[in-house]
Amino acid sequence: MPSSCDSLMEDIEDMVSSSDPTPHERQSARKSIIPRARKKKELLSDEELQADSLIPGTQKIWMKTWGCSHNNSDGEYMAGQLAASGYKMTDDPTEADVWLLNSCTVKNPAEDHFRNSIKKAQEQQKKVVVAGCVPQAQPRMDYLKGLSIIGVQQIDRVVEVVDEAVKGHSVRLLGQKKDGGRRLGGARLDLPKIRKNPLIEIISINTGCLNACTYCKTKHARGDLASYPIEELVERARQSFQEGVCEIWLTSEDTGAYGRDIGTDLPTLLWRLVEEIPEGAMLRLGMTNPPYILEHLEEMAKILNHPRVYAFLHVPVQSASDSVLMDMKREYCIDDFKRVVDFLKERVPGVTIATDIICGFPGETEEDFEATIDLVKAYRFPSLFINQFYPRPGTPAARLEQVPAHVKKQRTKELSQVFHSYNPYDHKVGERQHVLVTEESFDSQYYVAHNKYYEQVLVPKRVEFKGKMIVVDVYEAGKHFMKGKPVEESKPFTPSIAMPLQKGEVSGLLQEQKVNGVHVSAPTPSSCTFSIGSNSLDREMLKKIGIGLALAAVILAYIVQRVY
């Protein structure tokens, strides 16, 4: 086929003909060029510079998180990265440009709230990004169509996803993080984060679990066990204490299974962490299932007796019927659970054991339920999470014959009545206790503190108590709390080794170093400081200096061009 060109061009130099001016002639011709001033448009003076409203990093973001402390930790990391990249986190959903919804898939009501929030955001013309266990487990749900999704192991890429969502694009990151074929615990632990409570650091020590419970949807999202290395966890705790934290929560889908995939175990991790805890600061251990804590009971008792570790353990039983436990595939019998509780109660005097119970699991008979009632009456758990069974889509339990809804409701009500029939703290009135003050009560009338057994003690709302270990005399007890009067002759003790961050401040960004007598703080979007001796230059001053240097560089380049 003939070419559209008359001749073939073998090389780019063939484009230059002998009649073209030489470079010297081209340079000489420039001297005769007279620049003309461009006429301004008449309307130019009335025009205003318009900023592109779709430039990522300039929007306000509202984030809502449902579910467990692991999910809350993920939410803190996502908020920190977004703030560090320039986005403004807001507590007001109406003023936000983007809604970031971090979901929980454990129960139907939590997913219903999540789905309703998506609908509400869309009605208000908000950009929507979803995260958490619901979209990870079921990304093809109809109500998720067209939405950007951040997988539970992809939270370190939240800025990329939000950037694209702001521009109107739909992005879905649902992959697993691996190293040499081995699945990792998730995103790095040293990412920026905004702690919901600047005094409390939540550290996820592993993700996923070794079980395959027939009712659990979380397994579909979090997958099999993947643990973080001990050194990374210890470093995260160390950094947290350097930022003023005085309480650490360890969390995961099953803390008792920690390390089985990387050749270590939970007690080994805990002994290493205890070395880092300052005097007066405390560590709280998260939920553990009975099978994986049984072999560590001796060591766990020693650790829970440590003065800087709360004598508290959350061990879900779910049912006191071996038949129901087998249908749930819980991999233990009720005697295993009792052995854990009895051993710890004997070796750790006063220990708090919290547990969970599911009412109305498929196949649960009246006899099965009565066994569960008897268990609660016998152990009088001070903290009991009662859940009516909800069949979760895609789980084996959802395919079983269901207990009638009215029966499930009745059993849930009956068990709740048993739980509220006793007061676990009445005998503690008159005790003198050391408590760590970390939070504010829901009604904002008190500060919330916890004693050695992680029992809630309400104390007067005095600013000097926040983040301190104080001594109180218990004068009143309720179902879920005690009230304490500060002992006047005792002084509050400060466990924090540094000033806590301000609420909303990004963690992990200000790492001051000293080089040749000069203190340099790592720059962040919200704070940047450069100091020599007592003189300090803030971010705005640095910005002006940078502009000045840039202009100087342009002028210098122009002079060099003119001279040569």
Of 485, 411, 498, whose CA–CA distance to 201 is shortest?
498
Residue 184 banded pLDDT, cuts 50, 70, 90 = confident
pTM for the structure as a whole: 0.79
Amino acid letter for position 73: S
> Residue 79 region, left (φ>0) first, then alpha (ψ -120 to 50), else beta?
alpha
The DSSP output letter for 20 is S
Residue 409 banded pLDDT, cuts 50, 70, 90 = very high
Structural domains of the chain sorted by starting position, each given as residue range(s) with its CATH number in brackets = 60-175 (3.40.50.12160), 197-422 (3.80.30.20), 427-486 (2.40.50.140)
Most confident listed range (34-38, 135-139, 262-266): 262-266
Report pLDDT for 9. 38
Question: Which token pair is 97?
Answer: 């440009």
- In angstroms, the CA 538 to CA 92 distance is 29
Dihedral pair phi/psi, residue 272, rounded to 5°: -70, -40
- In angstroms, the CA 209 to CA 257 distance is 7
Using the predicted structure, report yes or no on whether residue 45 has a pLDDT greater than 50: no
Q: How many CB atoms lie within 10 A of CB 396?
A: 16
Per residue in 317-373, pLDDT tens? 999 999 999 999 999 999 999 999 999 999 999 999 999 999 999 999 999 999 999
The DSSP output letter for 537 is E
Radius of gyration of the chain (CA): 31
Per residue in 419-458, pLDDT tens? 999 999 999 999 999 999 999 999 999 999 999 999 999 9
CB–CB of 172/105 below 8 Å? Answer: no
- In angstroms, the CA 264 to CA 229 distance is 9
Question: What is the distance, to the nearest Å, from the Cα of residue 53 to the centroid of all Cα atoms in its chain?
Answer: 29
CB–CB of 474/490 below 8 Å? Answer: no
CB–CB of 60/88 below 8 Å? Answer: yes
* Strand boundaries in 60-179, DSSP class E: 60-65, 88-89, 98-103, 127-132, 148-150, 172-173, 178-179
Element (H, E) at 109: helix 108-123
What does the DSSP assignment read for 380-394? Answer: --SEEEEEE--PPTT
CB–CB of 334/320 below 8 Å? Answer: yes
- CB contact set of 501 (below 8 Å; sequence gap of 6+): 195, 198, 243, 244, 507
Using the predicted structure, report yes or no on whether residue 515 has a pLDDT greater than 80: no
Helical axes 230-242 vs 266-274, angle rounded to 10°: 30
- In angstroms, the CA 451 to CA 486 distance is 13
- In angstroms, the CA 350 to CA 201 distance is 25
Residue 21 banded pLDDT, cuts 50, 70, 90 = low
Amino acid letter for position 272: R
- What separation, in Å, do the N-terminal and C-terminal C-alpha atoms of the chain show? 51
CB–CB of 91/194 below 8 Å? Answer: no
b (16+ CB within 10 A) / e for 226-258: bbbebebbbebbebbbebbbbbbbbbbbbbbbb
- CB contact set of 423 (below 8 Å; sequence gap of 6+): 477, 478, 479
Strand partners, 88: 60
